[in-house]
């Protein structure tokens, strides 16, 4: 990854400005949409580094989660782009910094803390209605916009319902120790929603007190206190907030209060208008009328140096941008039991690709039928052990001169198809192939 990207232009659309922060695998820059002048945050991830340490699944999960949880109090992911070496997250730019910075200056007034807590619970309840669990809620992951409204960020440790084992529980120990629920620590499996609620309770305590409820220099002693919910309320905590926190910081997840009950609590509802009332009792996904459906994240393939926008239609975007074996994100966008297919990219126009496939089919005595949407169906005239071999080819346009081609067996005998593919079709396609999935690009003939 380049040392500094300031001043460069991404995809002819985003001007990259100063660096906002950096970690081991990513850097975050301030950016500006050139057309609209809208400020964004651009997270630049080094693909090689995350592949080496096995973080592909975490990146996959973060993209998938942020496409599911579109809410006014959650940092929005606008777009995902990638080159062969980098992934770019174009995110909502949140100007106000971390909520942690406010708390580090001292405790907040009760009404201010309550407003942030209301917005936090609104966002968390929305996530849970989408079967998404954050698992690392803490003030450092809560940002404030220019209007002082809270935005939940950093879904890198989030888990989807599909991460649960057959017992219906999550089993990955993660999060920040002081905010982690007792059941997460004991490694016996936990309900992600109940664990998030505990973390929200710790956050509320911190906002009102200015310090943590569970703290000790000895980590095991701190874990013991968490396990027994051993903490003391400061004298300035009102009786109502004490009662609510006692229900939230319940070490037994089975009796711990739910987000729905929190939202019905009298202390929680003070100063709250009807916009935050759950609109139905059937676990509605839209518990906040401000929460609106936003179109899915735009996934774009980019050229390495100065990115060119591509049209992607009905396409597993990361099959294009992640052709390296070991960084295939196609599982995000297709069923895992899909039949085996071969994919390659080509720098030729669609007409040239179609002509080449037709030429090969003619030599192999395959009848070609063209369908709408760039689909070619090829079928042998000779009957094999399981009927005539059939092959489907589908062409996806990324740019007018850059395409992804997907080919797979449609019918017939598998061994006969594999022999035809390996010995005749694949070698004959080399003139139009830029890169096979999982292989390095090859030099094309002029």
Q: Looking at residues 12-21, what average pLDDT do you find?
A: 86
Give the Cα separation of 35 and 80 in Å (integer). Answer: 18
pLDDT at 287: 36
Query: What is residue 401's predicted lDDT score, i.e. its pLDDT?
Result: 62
327-341 residue pLDDT tens: 333 333 333 334 467
Residue 365 per-residue DSSP state: T
At the top level of CATH, the class of 9-93+296-301 is alpha beta
What's the Cα-to-Cα distance from 241 to each of 193, 214, 235, 388, 401, rounded to whole Å? 21, 17, 12, 73, 62
Question: Is the predicted pLDDT of residue 275 greater than 80, yes or no?
Answer: no
> Taking the domains of the chain in order of start, what are their residue ranges?
9-93+296-301, 99-272, 339-436
Residue 342's beta-bridge partner residues?
Answer: 407
Are the C-beta atoms of residues 173 and 135 closer than 8 Å to each other? no
What lies within 8 Å, CB to CB, of 243 at 6+ separation is 267
Token pair recorded at residue 337: 């039991």
60 in a labelled binding site: no
Of 102 and 167, the structure prediction assigns the larger pLDDT to 102
- Rounded to whole angstroms, the Cα distance separating 106 from 100 reads 10
Per-residue confidence (pLDDT) for residue 206, from 0 to 100: 95
Task: Give pLDDT, residue 330.
Answer: 39
DSSP state of 331: G
pLDDT tens digits, residue range 198-222? 999 999 999 999 999 998 877 788 8
Predicted local distance difference test score (pLDDT) of residue 297:
52
Annotated catalytic residue, options 125, 136, 196, 319: 136
Residue 401 falls in the annotated catalytic set: no
Average pLDDT in the chain:
76
Backbone angle region of 292, left / alpha / beta, with phi > 0 → left and psi within -120 to 50 → alpha: beta
| CA 440 to each of CA 48, 53, 350, 406: distance values in angstroms, whole numbers, following the listed order | 14, 21, 22, 17
Residue 14 has which token pair?
């985003």
Contact 249, 241 (CB under 8 A): no
From the candidate CATH numbers 1.10.3210.10, 3.40.50.300, 2.30.30.90, 3.30.310.80, the one assigned to the domain spanning 339-436:
3.30.310.80
CATH class of the structural domain 99-272: mainly alpha
């Amino acid at each position: 990854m380049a040392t500094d990207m300031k001043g460069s232009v991404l995809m002819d659309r985003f001007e990259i400005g100063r660096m906002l922060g950096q970690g081991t695998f990513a850097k975050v820059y301030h950016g500006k949409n050139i057309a609209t002048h809208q400020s964004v945050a651009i997270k630049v991830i080094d693909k090689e580094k995350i592949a080496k340490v096995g973080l592909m699944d975490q990146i996959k999960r973060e993209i998938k989660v942020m496409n599911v949880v579109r809410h006014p109090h959650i940092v929005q992911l606008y777009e995902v782009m990638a080159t062969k070496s980098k992934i770019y997250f174009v995110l909502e730019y949140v100007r106000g910094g971390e909520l942690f910075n406010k708390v580090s200056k001292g405790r907040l007034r009760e009404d201010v803390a309550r407003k942030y807590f209301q917005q936090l619970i609104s966002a968390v309840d929305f996530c849970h209605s989408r079967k998404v669990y954050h698992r690392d809620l803490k003030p450092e992951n809560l940002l404030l916009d220019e209007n002082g409204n809270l935005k939940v960020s950093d879904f890198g440790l989030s888990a989807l319902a599909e991460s649960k084992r057959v017992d219906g529980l999550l089993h990955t120990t993660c999060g920040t120790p002081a905010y982690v629920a007792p059941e997460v620590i004991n490694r016996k499996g936990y309900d992600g929603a109940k664990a998030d609620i505990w973390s929200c309770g710790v956050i509320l305590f911190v906002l009102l007190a200015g310090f943590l409820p569970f703290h000790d220099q000895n980590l095991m002693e701190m874990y013991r206190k968490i396990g027994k919910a051993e903490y003391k309320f400061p004298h300035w905590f009102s009786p109502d907030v004490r009662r609510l926190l006692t229900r939230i910081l319940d070490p037994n997840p089975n009796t711990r209060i739910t987000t729905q009950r929190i939202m019905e609590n009298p202390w929680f509802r003070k100063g709250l208008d009807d916009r935050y009332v759950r609109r139905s009792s059937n676990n509605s996904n839209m518990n906040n009328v401000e929460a609106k459906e936003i179109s899915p994240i735009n996934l774009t393939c980019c050229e390495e140096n100065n990115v060119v926008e591509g049209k992607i239609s009905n396409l597993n975007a990361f099959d294009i941008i992640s052709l390296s074996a070991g960084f295939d994100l196609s599982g995000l966008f297709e069923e895992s039991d899909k039949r085996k297919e071969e994919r390659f990219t080509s720098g030729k126009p669609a007409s040239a690709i179609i002509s080449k496939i037709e030429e090969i089919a003619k030599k192999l005595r395959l009848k070609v039928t063209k369908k709408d949407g760039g689909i070619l169906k090829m079928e042998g005239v000779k009957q094999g052990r399981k009927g005539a071999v059939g092959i489907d080819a589908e062409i996806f346009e990324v740019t007018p001169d850059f395409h992804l081609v997907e080919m797979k067996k449609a019918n017939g005998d598998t061994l006969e198809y594999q022999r035809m593919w390996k010995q005749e079709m694949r070698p004959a396609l080399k003139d139009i192939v830029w890169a096979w999935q999982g292989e390095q690009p090859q030099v094309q003939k002029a």
